[in-house]
């Protein structure tokens, strides 16, 4: 059985500035630079793959001394999005990266200071450039006589990432141009058959979690890729008579579990990691993890709200 801090340490492994590990680790990365600002981190194997592109010199400017990677030409959204697209399409064609086998055909937005769109990028390729991505995670719960119960889905066993793992009630990524609440409403309908009106009127925005996720074997694809993430969190209190059921094929089934059962599954490592983080935050907001019962209370709170230092919309 793992501690809550173990769950965090397993995946939020990007060190903090002012530590020895940070200097060593940062020295191994390249910086994706846009108009003088770092907007992503690349591991060396990705930089190698850029150098191996036939169109490399057309699109990319790489400085091995400064460890910077830049897109050439006028930094317009259109031009840069196109250059990124050509790059990842080429990689996909040549099967350079396993993560691109999970091609989503969905564009994520990448921002640069002062919060403007820099370019759009195919969702499955965002971790290759270590750019910040956004999602929504919602926990639906019931106040029963026996205490709080949570609606927990199991991901379809054939899902390309984390198949069979437990999840938050509803979760999804923000495609370019989308706002958090609209994504939540859509995903809640698709994943849990929750009526749009119910979600729109009752889902409560309860904060964010932000962290540097480092991809491991469970994520599928290359290991060590950096994935800074921001999850917009929501709570939804439901009456006992509402029963959640899968709508699309992404969910295997739904469970309505008490807090102790959820905590056990969490500590046994059965949740998808970033869903575990959202759940830990839920437990902290609902008086389940407290300063009295959790010795790493302050550390957990800070680790889940890292200031990532990237531009946001």
| Site for its own copies, rule CB under 8 A | 16-18, 115, 179-181, 204-208, 210, 230, 232, 281, 284-287, 289-292, 295, 297-299, 301-309, 312
211 vs 254 by CB, closer to its own copies: 211
5 vs 53 by CB, closer to its own copies: 5
92 vs 285 by CB, closer to its own copies: 285
How far is residue 34's CA from residue 138's CA, in Å, rounded to a whole number? 33
87 vs 231 by CB, closer to its own copies: 231
Residues 6+ apart with CB under 8 A from 217: 223
- Shortest CB 280 distance to its own copies, Å: 11
174 vs 251 by CB, closer to its own copies: 174
- Shortest CB 284 distance to its own copies, Å: 5
Q: Check whether the bond before 257 is cis (ω within 30° of 0).
A: no
- Shortest CB 198 distance to its own copies, Å: 15
- Shortest CB 209 distance to its own copies, Å: 8
Please state, in angstroms and as integers, the Cα–Cα distance from residue 63 to each residue in 47, 69, 160, following that order.
Answer: 10, 7, 35
Residues 6+ apart with CB under 8 A from 171: 135, 136, 137, 138, 187, 191, 231, 275, 278
Residues 6+ apart with CB under 8 A from 141: 148, 149, 150, 151, 235, 236, 237, 238
- Shortest CB 266 distance to its own copies, Å: 17
- Shortest CB 206 distance to its own copies, Å: 5
- Shortest CB 285 distance to its own copies, Å: 5
């Amino acid at each position: 059985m793992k501690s809550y801090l173990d769950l965090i340490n397993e995946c939020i492994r990007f060190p903090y500035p002012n530590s020895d590990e940070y200097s060593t680790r940062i020295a191994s990365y390249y910086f994706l630079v846009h108009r003088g600002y770092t907007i992503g981190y690349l591991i060396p194997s990705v930089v190698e793959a850029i150098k191996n592109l036939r169109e490399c010199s057309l699109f990319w400017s790489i400085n091995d001394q400064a460890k910077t990677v830049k897109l050439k030409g006028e930094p317009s959204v259109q031009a840069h999005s196109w250059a990124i697209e050509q790059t990842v399409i080429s990689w996909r064609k040549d099967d350079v990266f396993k993560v691109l086998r999970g091609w989503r055909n969905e564009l994520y937005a990448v921002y640069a200071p002062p919060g403007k769109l820099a370019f759009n990028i195919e969702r499955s390729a965002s971790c290759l450039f270590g750019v910040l991505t956004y999602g929504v995670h919602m926990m639906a719960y019931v106040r029963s006589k026996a205490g709080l119960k949570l609606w927990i889905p199991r991901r379809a066993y054939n899902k390309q990432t984390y198949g069979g793992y437990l999840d938050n009630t509803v979760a999804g990524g923000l495609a370019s141009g989308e706002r958090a609440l609209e994504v939540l409403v859509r995903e809640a309908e698709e994943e849990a058959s929750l009526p749009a009106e119910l979600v729109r009127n009752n889902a409560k925005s309860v904060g964010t979690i932000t962290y540097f996720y480092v991809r491991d074997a469970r994520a599928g694809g290359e290991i060590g890729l950096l994935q800074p993430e921001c999850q917009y969190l929501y709570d939804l209190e439901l009456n006992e008579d509402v029963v959640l059921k899968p709508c699309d094929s992404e969910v295997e089934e739904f469970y309505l579990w008490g807090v102790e059962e959820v905590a056990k599954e969490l500590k046994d490592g059965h949740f998808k990691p970033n869903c575990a983080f959202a759940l830990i935050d839920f437990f902290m907001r609902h008086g389940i993890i407290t300063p009295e019962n959790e010795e790493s209370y302050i550390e957990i709170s800070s680790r889940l709200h890292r200031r990532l230092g990237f531009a946001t919309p």
